[in-house]
Amino acid sequence: MSAGEAKSAAASTDRDPLDVKCIDTIRTLAMDAVQQANSGHPGAPMALAPVAYTLWQRFLRYDPADPLWPNRDRFVLSNGHGSMLIYSLIHLAGVRNVKDGKVVDEPSLPLEQLKRFRQLHSLTPGHPEYGMTAGVETTTGPLGQGVGNAVGMAIASRWLAARYNQPGFENLFDFNVYAICGDGCLMEGVASEACSLAGHQKLSNLCLLYDNNHISIEGHTSLAFTEDVAVRFLGYGWNVLRVADANDTERLAAALQTFQKTKDRPTLIIVDSHIGYGSPNKQDSHAAHGEPLGEEEIRLTKRFYGWPENEKFLVPDGVYERFQKGVGSRGRQARDAWVAKFAEYKAKHPDLARQIELMVHGALPEGWDRDVPVFPADAKGLATRDSGGKVLNGIAKNVPWLLGGSADLAPSTKTLLTFEGAGHLQAASPGGRNMHFGVREHAMGAVINGMALAKVRPYGSGFLIFSDYGRGALRLSALM
């Protein structure tokens, strides 16, 4: 499809001119930031702007004024090289900043931070980093890791619901997880492992939006990636949908509505897009992937959008207000209703409410170590995996949100929780404490990172030599 044909298609689907302006604001901010840094990836944000805008404005249950709200929907950008997509959204939605674990009344990313993209000490590094930029739910960069994190977040959401939701409080925890990924994410083995596990667990609260743009750094993806992704995910047990044009926001909305109605499996939405959308000379080419477009190409692209060609970092009138009336207003109402409901919950279920408060603040309950065994000196000794298993069980009895498992090695690593009521975490028993990751060391690491980011205390186990398989996730765990 040529740029002109693409523009015609977009015009037929985005009927509200202000919505089109908001989408093009995301695109132009990404182009300008990458160009000013003389480094970065403009093509993905240009392609995905209508996808992310539709998700945030119409579906994401997220209050920009409280990015720590426990029941917020999670948004993960697994293809983190397209970071200007999430930075633009955070800026335009007015996400508040977080300092020392508390929300403060200042923007997470003022416009000046977008102008400092990829600069030392800025809040807009080349790839999103958890803890550095409020609104970023996880550190992404190594492709596929964000997919695994999203699976972990979805498992945590379902576990929290099973443990803490009570009659009259059935929606205390029910957040959805949305992740955008690219071709590279789905080529990486960690995503395959994680998505297989997600299908087994029937994670109906997980939606993966696949940016199917057919372009990688070396050229067309047909050089190395020709599988049928839809059939692959059907084999995993996912619901698979397709949107043939990333600019068709109504089709995108219909697909997201189908996800929300699907209650027995995760959903993959394959979105056919044009990397570098609107660039007359670089759209649908690897030249739009990992380098600035160039000043002249940016002017031509802005002309295609009907944008002032020489304006940089322009946010037109009405754009901030549109975000405030969309995700801002909807998220605020949902968050305020949750806070009021939690106050009722706290009055009726004070012990459970106290557990939630401790958990979300990373604290431990009083007496968490009361059942930790003592091992007297013994000439014969005790294998550390045996003693470790006893200690793990002693702690888990008194830390109800401690759960985890192994990569099919629990009988050997002694990490099975054996006390009464521990149970097994499966699709039919989502509140179990023992997880079975299968032989998926890499996904296990990425999944428990996602669970930890949702504030439960997860663990994974395996033989030391197999830790090499999970090194990418281990590295990100250390960073976060």
**Which residues make Cβ contacts (< 8 Å) with residue 159, sequence separation at least 6?**
403, 425, 430, 431, 456
Catalytic pick from 193, 291, 297, 441?
441
158, 203 contact by CB (below 8 A): yes
d(C-alpha 270, C-alpha 57), whole Å = 20
Task: Mark 449-470 as b/e (b = at least 16 C-beta within 10 Å).
Answer: bbbbbbbbbbbbbbeeebeebb
**Is 311 known to be catalytic?**
no
Q: How far is CA 326 from the centre of its chain?
A: 20
d(C-alpha 218, C-alpha 103), whole Å = 42
d(C-alpha 148, C-alpha 437), whole Å = 12
Active site residues: 441
